[in-house]
Amino acid sequence: MTPTIRDARRDDAPQIVELIADLGHRMTIEAVGDRVEALDRSDCPQMVAAQGSRLVGLCGLHIMSAIHRPQPVGRITILEVARDFRDQGIGRALVDEAERRLRDAGCGLIEVTSNERLVAAHGFYLRLGYDHTSKRFAKRL
């Protein structure tokens, strides 16, 4: 059965928490539910891949304007596929849908953020035509 890609909903939060835990992020169900709703209100719904009642993938989107870019920049902020569903085309399907949505929103560029330790993910993005263009720096406040 092919998963259905749809917008995330608040009631998806328990399963989203499980998906993002695979990437090392610890979140509460309530906090994730709040973020799903806030992002939806800001016209940046997050996407999930559902197989029946089980969520098997997550793709976070964000759109921003930058003074040095002529068009908005789309970002894939998180991409995760459940371990037992990897290598079945779900990640590619989520990225394809993200690209379609961001293109339709007028974005001229899509950026993907990926932790340096996720080497397999880097190869995946390169295979999809993304270039390694810069380093990202972060500082906790």
Instruction: Extract the residue ranges of the chain whose pLDDT is less than 50.
Output: none
Q: What is the pLDDT of residue 132?
A: 85
Q: Is the pTM of this model over 0.85?
A: yes
Q: What is the pLDDT of residue 20?
A: 94
Q: What is the pLDDT of residue 27?
A: 92
User: 103 by DSSP, 3-state: which?
Assistant: helix
Assess contact for 59 and 77: CB atoms under 8 A: no
Q: What is the pLDDT of residue 119?
A: 65
Q: What is the pLDDT of residue 63?
A: 95
Structural domains of the chain in order of their starting residue, each with its CATH number: 4-127 (3.40.630.30)
Q: What is the pLDDT of residue 131?
A: 85
For the chain, the 3-state helix, strand and coil shares in percent, each to the nearest 5, are 35, 25, 40
